Chains A and B, each alone.
Chain A
Amino acid sequence: MAIANATAPARPLPARVEPTVRRVPAPVLLVALGVAVVVLIVASVSIGEFHVHWLDVVRVIGAHLGIGSDDSVPIAARTVVWQVRVPRTLLALTVGAGLALAGAALQGIFRNPLADPGIVGVSSGAALGAVVSIVLGVGSLGSWSTPFAAFLGALAVSILIYRFARRNGRTEVVTLILTGIALNAIVAACIGFLTTQANDQQLRSIVFWNLGSFANARWRYVAISSTLVAFGLLTLPRLARRLDLLALGEREARHLGVETDELRRAVIVIAAVVVGGCVAVSGIIAFVGLVVPHLVRLAAGPGHRLLLPASALGGAALLMLADLGARTVVAPKELPLGVVTSGFGGVFFLWLLLSVRRAQGGWG
């Protein structure tokens, strides 16, 4: 709803040519997104192919929180609520928040609206780690091997890209982004080669993993993603002021006392940790990290003190909604999450871009 307000002034521009973009006040946006998140949490644990009365949902969740008892609820319904819906909901919530938060911070340090976790190699690195562990069978951590390998891959490739892009203690943004593109291509080639070495079963795991899904949600995955996303939420917003100064320009920020290189390094490492953890538990979910920050900027402007928390809330809401769609639209089948986020999200974003252009006569 906040977004609709931002695009509402579809009438011709006033004669006084001055960027009079109507912005949603920060408290309104945060409250609206917060309400959306709460509503989606409730919807996500209540709605599904398996019919569970909402009172039973309350009983099951209450019982696990130590309030009341769920003995009257059939075992299948208890399983659906506590082992399927609740972990899925929490995973979508944390992963969505993490991806959007990291995306917003990365766009900030690159001062480039096209930056997303993919560009610094986090996503492709995670994919490479996962594929290596699937195809070569590396790792003795059982079901933890692939997520852990994905996490290591994300860190390794993003550090590598950062190292390549750095010279004489300086990092040039364009070099960094182009290095990212080059390394992403190399990583993609490695993945392509490994898939030719995979047997049928491995190939299917790779495909499943690359599409991203919350169908394999487990409580222990929720523990990982919520820890790492909490880390991101505690650290990145502290850098908001410095990110705002950086938006003025590299030199301007330095003159104002911002250690820009240190800031970049911190954000890249934090983003790699957060996104690596998210990708490790849910596979690759494109689009969220790129688009949610843009939606928030459209609604409320580019200030990072609002952008970072609002993006986290928006990402959480978007992925919970997408997952709700993924598991209900073609039930009893499961729709790949990427289809929902990229497909529907892409169409929505395109529509938004076009209508903003109509209203404001341009973009960015």
Chain B
Amino acid sequence: MILSSLSLAALISACGKTDDPGAAKTAATTTAPVAAVTSTSLVTSTSLVATTTTAPTWPLTAPAAKLPATVTDANGASVTVTSIDRIASLQGDITEILWTLGLGDKIAVVDTTATYPDSMLKSKPNAGFFRTLSAEGLLAQKPTLALVHPGAGPAAVIDALKAAGVPVVVIPELNGTDLLEASKKIKLVGDAVGLSDHAAKLAAQVEADINSAVAEAKAAATTSPVAAYIVPRGTQVFLTGLDSPSNAIIAAAGGTSAAKLLNLKTAAALTPESLIGVQPAFLVSTFTGVAQAGGDAAFLAIAGIAETPAAKSKKLLVFDDSLIQQFGPRTGQAVRQLSAKFQG
């Protein structure tokens, strides 16, 4: 669906992101398997292009960083950064922000939560899942700065990084319910790499993009279809809660999230009946989620999903994980894409 290869490729080129061939390639290759299902609910690509005329050109070109930079991180620690030549970027959204700022070539090592942009990630060493890092593996990449999620660890690994003289800046999660947390996160990352002004510019662009996307979605909204954001895990169906970016994005795009109807404050495994009970018109998931279920046909056949109106009309919208699960520079894009599907 929503991310059908045609419309996304069109969208990307409309955004002027042709300088990132990897992004177009990702969309084309990863969406291929779902094309058959999507075609039934495909919104014409022109409608998407029409709404994205203001989208900026990314990645930006980064000016020289003002170093040393001293920041107070999410843990209240005062950290002085002296070099950003080799950044250990240990969270997917931080990695995407660094790339968008134009610092892709400064990233020395990433973690497995990084999914965008694919073209860059292919050439970066991967330190594994950010909660199960290896101290020696990270230090072998000779980082000069580590930007980490508050949950990065194990704790002994973070301590070893600090002991080895690597400044560790903890960037708060900022994946709640306010779409503009995207710009806050961008500013915090910018401060940590000595590019506050540059990051403020990007943050302003992103904020304007999100605001206009939300306004457009509101103006276009004639109905508010029920959409369920689903993470399949084995034979169980998980719905993210109202505290998650996915449901905030669904709401901003003019949809009514299943989590809201079920009053799910945090993520939870659902009984099949409760999902059928809210009669979702759309199912939203990620490439990883659908792949784990065994492809979209298998996804739509899961008990409790198969009986929904959305499954019967094959309205499954598959997103890049980092686009829908967290706030970032492309949050406005996510709102536009969802809104187009909801009103299509």
Interface residues of A (CB under 8 A from B): 48-51, 75-76, 78-80, 83-85, 87, 143, 196, 199-201, 204-205, 208, 213, 215-218, 327, 330-334, 336
B-chain residues with CB within 8 Å of residue A217 when the two chains form the complex: 156
Given A75-B164, A204-B151; A215-B139 close (CB under 8 Å): no
Which listed residue (B136, B154, B165) contacts A216, Cβ 8 A?
B154
Given A199-B266, A213-B132, A333-B128; A49-B163 close (CB under 8 Å): no
Shortest C-beta distance, B214 to chain A (Å), equals: 26
A-chain residues with CB within 8 Å of residue B142 when the two chains form the complex: 76
A-chain residues with CB within 8 Å of residue B160 when the two chains form the complex: 79-80, 83-84
Given A216-B156, A218-B156; A332-B164 close (CB under 8 Å): no
A-chain residues with CB within 8 Å of residue B163 when the two chains form the complex: 75, 79, 83
Which listed residue (B131, B133, B137, B266) contacts A49, Cβ 8 A?
B137
Whole-angstrom distance between the alpha carbons of A79 and B161 in the complex?
8
Given A76-B165, A80-B164; A49-B134 close (CB under 8 Å): yes
A-chain residues with CB within 8 Å of residue B138 when the two chains form the complex: 332
**A331→B136 contact, CB < 8 A:** yes
CB-nearest residue of chain A to B111: A333
B-chain residues with CB within 8 Å of residue A334 when the two chains form the complex: 128, 132-134, 137
**A208→B156 contact, CB < 8 A:** no
CB-nearest residue of chain B to A83: B160
**A76→B139 contact, CB < 8 A:** yes
Which listed residue (A201, A205, A331) contacts B134, Cβ 8 A?
A331
Given A75-B165, A83-B159; A327-B137 close (CB under 8 Å): yes
Whole-angstrom distance between the alpha carbons of A80 and B311 in the complex?
53
**A213→B137 contact, CB < 8 A:** no
CB-nearest residue of chain A to B109: A332
CB-nearest residue of chain B to A333: B128
**B159→A85 contact, CB < 8 A:** no
CB-nearest residue of chain B to A84: B135
Given A332-B125, A333-B134; A215-B141 close (CB under 8 Å): no
Whole-angstrom distance between the alpha carbons of A87 and B139 in the complex?
17
B140 contacts A by Cβ under 8 Å: yes
Which listed residue (A199, A332, A336) contacts B127, Cβ 8 A?
A332
Given A76-B142, A332-B138, A334-B134; A196-B269 close (CB under 8 Å): yes
CB-nearest residue of chain B to A332: B137
Whole-angstrom distance between the alpha carbons of A48 and B163 in the complex?
18
CB-nearest residue of chain B to A327: B134
Whole-angstrom distance between the alpha carbons of A205 and B127 in the complex?
18
Whole-angstrom distance between the alpha carbons of A205 and B157 in the complex?
15
**A331→B156 contact, CB < 8 A:** no
Whole-angstrom distance between the alpha carbons of A332 and B127 in the complex?
5
A-chain residues with CB within 8 Å of residue B268 when the two chains form the complex: 196
CB-nearest residue of chain B to A81: B136
Which listed residue (A48, A75, A80, A208) contacts B132, Cβ 8 A?
A208
B153 contacts A by Cβ under 8 Å: yes
A-chain residues with CB within 8 Å of residue B156 when the two chains form the complex: 83-84, 87, 215-218
Whole-angstrom distance between the alpha carbons of A205 and B131 in the complex?
8
A-chain residues with CB within 8 Å of residue B139 when the two chains form the complex: 50, 76, 79-80, 84
Besides A76-B166, A79-B139, A333-B127, 7 more A-B contacts (Cβ < 8 Å) are: A48-B140, A75-B163, A79-B135, A83-B159, A84-B139, A213-B154, A215-B154
B267 contacts A by Cβ under 8 Å: yes
CB-nearest residue of chain A to B157: A215
A-B residue pairs, 4 tightest by C-beta: A332-B137, A333-B128, A216-B154, A334-B134
| Sampled A-B contacts (10; CB under 8 Å) | A48-B136, A76-B139, A76-B164, A79-B139, A79-B163, A196-B268, A204-B131, A205-B131, A331-B140, A332-B125
Output the residue of B135, B138, B141, B164 with the most chain A CB within 10 A: B135
B155 contacts A by Cβ under 8 Å: yes
CB-nearest residue of chain A to B240: A200
A-chain residues with CB within 8 Å of residue B128 when the two chains form the complex: 330, 332-334
B-chain residues with CB within 8 Å of residue A205 when the two chains form the complex: 131
B-chain residues with CB within 8 Å of residue A143 when the two chains form the complex: 155
Whole-angstrom distance between the alpha carbons of A93 and B142 in the complex?
29
B126 contacts A by Cβ under 8 Å: yes
Whole-angstrom distance between the alpha carbons of A86 and B298 in the complex?
48
Shortest C-beta distance, B159 to chain A (Å), equals: 7
The digit string for B83-124, where 1 denotes a CB below 8 A from any CB of A, is 000000000000000000000000001000000000000000
**B132→A49 contact, CB < 8 A:** no
CB-nearest residue of chain A to B112: A333
CB-nearest residue of chain B to A336: B132
Whole-angstrom distance between the alpha carbons of A134 and B47 in the complex?
48
Shortest C-beta distance, B132 to chain A (Å), equals: 6
CB-nearest residue of chain A to B151: A201
Whole-angstrom distance between the alpha carbons of A333 and B141 in the complex?
12
B-chain residues with CB within 8 Å of residue A49 when the two chains form the complex: 134, 136-137, 140
**A216→B133 contact, CB < 8 A:** no
Whole-angstrom distance between the alpha carbons of A330 and B132 in the complex?
13
**A80→B135 contact, CB < 8 A:** yes
Whole-angstrom distance between the alpha carbons of A218 and B153 in the complex?
13
B-chain residues with CB within 8 Å of residue A199 when the two chains form the complex: 266-267
Shortest C-beta distance, B82 to chain A (Å), equals: 14
B-chain residues with CB within 8 Å of residue A201 when the two chains form the complex: 151
CB-nearest residue of chain B to A195: B269
